[in-house]
Structure 1
Amino acid sequence: MRDTWEELRAQCLACTACGLAETRTHVVFGDGAQDAEILLVGEGPGQHEDEQGVPFVGRAGLLLDDMLEIIGLDRTKVYVANIVKCRPPQNRDPLNVEQDACIGWLRRQTALLRPKIIVCLGRIAAKVIIKEDFKITAEHGQWFQRSGVQMTAIYHPSALLRDERKRPETFEDLKSIQSKIREVCTHTVI
């Protein structure tokens, strides 16, 4: 039997499968259109996301909103989620054991959503979703396909806040995403 969004969210909010459950304020389940053709995936929530229970609401989230706006998107047209649903302490990278404990939630969200495009926000998401040896500096903006889903990775908005020299490359990646949306999406008009 297929999940419903309500059942999946309730189960996820009660999750205690790894140690991150002990230090979280909120589970950051995901946010956006539940019929979105585009799924954006980050690595995990930061402090602001943990406080509010919503992905990408801090400085990186504001930049993500600006990035989406550049190509005619906003959060009402996409779904945003993370590899792990609870904040790793001090915003460290999620450990493999934490990713393994949590990835089932993202898989179930993806099954409900059935996106046509997945955009990985950063190296960690790309390693989990696209391929284990993904190199963000060499492979960002390249397209991969699995089970009919188009996938790409761009620099994480936090990386762009730290190093503005990556922004021109990311602009090109965003234009590529815009082209792919126009090519494969049926109800996302940009």
Structure 2
Amino acid sequence: MNQTLEQLKLKIKTISESYKDNPTGGWITGDGPINSKIMFVGEAPGKNEVEQGKPFIGMAGKRFESYLNKIGLTRDKVRITNTCFFRPIKIKESKSGRKTISNRPPRSNEIKLFKEILDEEIKLVSPKIIVTLGNVPLKRLTNYKSIGECHGNTIYNEELNINIFPMYHPSSLTYNRSEEFLTSYENDWNNLKKIVED
């Protein structure tokens, strides 16, 4: 079993290190147990994730973990992975020559690079349900284009023979501070709890 994880890691490393089309800043693999009932799929790693070699480590990760705990789960019981395994970055140079590096969403060709790897990881983990966090994994694993249309509902993916449960990315709570949004976000977690307990 671990051999296959090692093979996936090697593939991620090879793809990430030979990709030269756009700037990237390091790569990571999925994290968590292989025999997990529930699998979370994020977009792509950021700076903190690459530094620590794990998905969902930064601010959004802490928020994600607190909601995970609220529904009676802990990080070591779930598999967490990404749609794109390297960190897509933008480099800006100021007039004084100072460079700033920021995250950007992965481009569709970058997501395609890792399509087989994500599919293989899903087969390996064989979860009861996959939770997509944000629009990038949603578009990759369902026919929906926007999370607003379908969050908190179960969508069946025929190709993978698995139910997909779309949720907003935890970082969306930083941008949308309305009471209404928070309530709907918490409702989605409560729905997920019911599904997991069934």
- Which bracket does the TM-score occupy, shorter chain normalised? 0.7 to 0.9
Q: Which runs of 5+ in 1 are unaligned?
A: 184-190
Q: Which runs of 5+ in 2 are unaligned?
A: 90-101
Match of 2:34 in 1: 34
Question: Between the two proteins, what is the percent identity of the paired residues?
Answer: 31
Between structure 1 and structure 2, the one with the greater Rg is 2
Q: Distance in 2 between matches of 1:17 and 1:106?
A: 18
**Matched ranges for 1:4-153 at <5 A:** 4-15=4-15, 16=17, 18-19=19-20, 23-25=24-26, 27-89=27-89, 90-131=102-143, 133-147=144-158, 148-153=161-166
* Letter paired with 1:180: I
- Matched-pair contact (CA < 8 Å) for 1:20–1:87: no
CA-atom RMSD in angstroms: 1.9
Q: Distance in 1 between matches of 2:47 and 2:21?
A: 13
Cα shift at 1:10? 2.6
* Letter paired with 1:150: N
Match of 1:176 in 2: 191
Cα shift at 1:18? 3.1
Instruction: Give the paired residue count.
Output: 180
Structure with bigger strand share is 2
Give the alignment's TM-score, normalised by structure 2: 0.84
Give the alignment's TM-score, normalised by structure 1: 0.87
- Matched-pair contact (CA < 8 Å) for 1:34–1:113: yes
Output one character per residue of 1:137-165: Cα deviation in whole Å (capped at 9) or x when no partner: 22111111124422111110111122132
